[in-house]
Amino acid sequence: MKTLLSLISLFAVLFSTTMTATAAGSDGVWLRSKTNAHIRSFTCSGGLGLKIVKSAKKKNIGKVIMCGAKKTGPNKWKGSLTSTEDGQVYTGYVKMGSSSLSLDGCVLGGLICKNESWKRIK
């Protein structure tokens, strides 16, 4: 029984470390040139998060627009992103490279889709 508990504890530690490392490698700051906003990528609820850290629209600073996106492959996450322009929640994918981040998302069952690319600045 003691061995079983030790194994379960070890698994829990390894799992939580893996989940944190999954999104931790994605930390950075990205420039959304369309609005000149700076968006920080970070670990949020065990997945990928995106938060506005600089914006001409002062009310958006600090707003989390994505949290908990799940990793689906190397440098790729699936989740929901709230648009600061139309308030819609888009479901889609984030793909991250060393110098760029791309977003592809849709609402209304794929009726309206958008995509964007951002540049890494930090």
Query: pLDDT digit string (tens) for 48-91?
Result: 999 999 999 899 999 999 999 999 999 999 999 999 888 999 99
pTM greater than 0.75 (yes/no) = yes
Burial class (CB in 10 A: 0-12, 13-18, 19+), 61: middle
Domains of the chain, with CATH numbers? Answer: 2-120 (2.40.128.520)
Predicted local distance difference test score (pLDDT) of residue 1: 42
Predicted local distance difference test score (pLDDT) of residue 25: 61
pLDDT, the chain, mean: 83
CA dist., res. 38 & res. 51, Å (int): 9
CA dist., res. 66 & res. 55, Å (int): 16
CA dist., res. 82 & res. 75, Å (int): 20
CB 112 within 8 A of CB 121: no
